[in-house]
Amino acid sequence: SVKSFHSSSTSLHGVKHVGVLGAGQMGLGIALVAANVSKLPVLLLDTNEAQLNKGMKFMDSLLKKDVAKGRLTEAQAEETKSRVKTTQSMADFSNVDFVIEAVSENPALKANLFRDLAQATPKHAILASNTSSISITKIAAAAKGREEQVIGMHFMNPVPVMKLVEIIPGLATSNDVLRTTKDLAVAMGKTCTVSQDVPGFVANRLLMPYINEAIIAYETGIASKEDIDTTMKLGTNMPMGPLTLADFIGLDTCLAIMKVLHEQLGDTKYRPSVLLNKMVDAGWVGKKSGRGFYIY
Ligand code: CAA
């Protein structure tokens, strides 16, 4: 309707085209929600063509499920699909107003990408990172001349299901950029919270020590893994117990975040458990590898 057109265009402060960088689990979910819920055209960039194809296939299967469940009509699913275009070249980001980066958690990779994004995108474009633990201020410093427009936009996995987006302004982020980012998150159907740019922000500052403590409880024989999970799942109404959740997130990711907390906060309470380190060394990193605390 005309009314909703006006309200969405004013509340989005001119954000008309979204670029998503990285077609993994998170990037794909973000692209889907941007296209399906906020109804914005999305350009999904990944240098790996196989990853792009895999991502688009997964998006297709999620949309088919929504049609089967009566949440979307076939026509709406087609419209959503038509809003998502793919590319392997950042040069195609010359027309985006808002970028959400969701590549793997590698500080050097992110620094390089933000340096390039600062060149490839229009001067007004906001550059958001879905990092879960890298300093936004550090990422912003790599985007020379665009520091005020860099912000953290931390989605939770699985993106289409989880309602939260944690928003993290860096030291230089402007209030306008914070406001536009919040409005985009709301247009994507999410509730947002704001965190200081500190290791782990809020979500992982609380979640990872909890998971790590569950691994220590298992490692020291306090209870079986099943009993640890059942205790927390049924005892505190969590959708998953902590060891199942660790497998779901990926033990490599959990370890990387614990290391950031430990190194940057310096407190031994954040020390990653010996078993967590060993399991990552063994390649038993959870659901994605077929084995973690459980077999998949
Ligand atoms: N992508 C999209 N949708 C997905 C999905 C995925 N990867 N995985 C599951 N879903 C959907 C299912 O399709 C299903 O949708 P319908 O209702 O349309 O059928 C819905 O989620 C529920 O799934 P299931 O019925 O299969 O299983 P469930 O009820 O056990 O729910 C779950 C699965 C949503 C993952 C739930 O177990 C849960 O909420 N777990 C906790 C997840 C969590 O804590 N996430 C945060 C991790 S931390 C993080 O992301 C931050 C970080 O930086 C590490």
- Here the tokens at position 235 are 């005892």
The C-alpha atoms of residue 199 and residue 162 are separated, in whole angstroms, by 22
62 lines ligand 1 (CB under 6 A): yes
Burial 123-151 (b: 16+ CB within 10 A, else e): eebbbbbbbbbbbbbbbbbbbeebbbbbb
Question: Residues 122-130: what's their mean pLDDT?
Answer: 97
Return the CATH class of domain 208-286.
mainly alpha
Question: Minimal CA–CA distance to 79: which of 44, 36, 38, 45?
Answer: 36
Q: What is the tens place of the pLDDT at every residue in 255-283?
A: 999 999 999 999 999 999 999 999 999 99
pLDDT at residue number 99: 98
**Are 146 and 174 contacting, i.e. CB atoms less than 8 angstroms apart?**
no
Q: What is the CA radius of gyration of the chain?
A: 20
For every residue of 194-263, DSSP letters joined together read E--S-TTTTHHHHHHHHHHHHHHHHHTTSS-HHHHHHHHHHHTT-SS-HHHHHHHH-HHHHHHHHHHHHH
The per-residue pLDDT for 13 is 84
Domain 2-194 and domain 208-286, same fold? Reply is no
Report how far ligand 1's centroid is from the alpha carbon of 265 (Å): 30
Which residues are within 8 A (CB) of 1 and not within 5 positions of it... i.e. 6 or more apart? none
- Beta carbon of 156 within 6 Å of any ligand 1 atom: yes
Q: Which atom of ligand 1 is nearest to the CA of 160?
A: 2
Whole-complex ipTM: 0.96
For residue 163, the CA-to-ligand 1 centroid distance in Å is 11
What does the domain layout of the chain look like in residue ranges? 2-194, 208-286
pLDDT in tens, 203-231: 999 999 999 999 999 999 999 999 999 99
What is the model's pLDDT at position 11?
Answer: 65
For residues 45 and 20, is the Cβ–Cβ distance under 8 A?
A: yes
Confidence at residue 3, expressed as pLDDT on a 0 to 100 scale: 40
Please state the atom number of ligand 1 nearest to the C-alpha of residue 154.
Answer: 53
Mutation test residue for ligand 1: of 161, 237, 247, the one with most atoms within 8 Å of CB: 161
Q: Which CATH class, in words, describes the domain spanning 2-194?
A: alpha beta
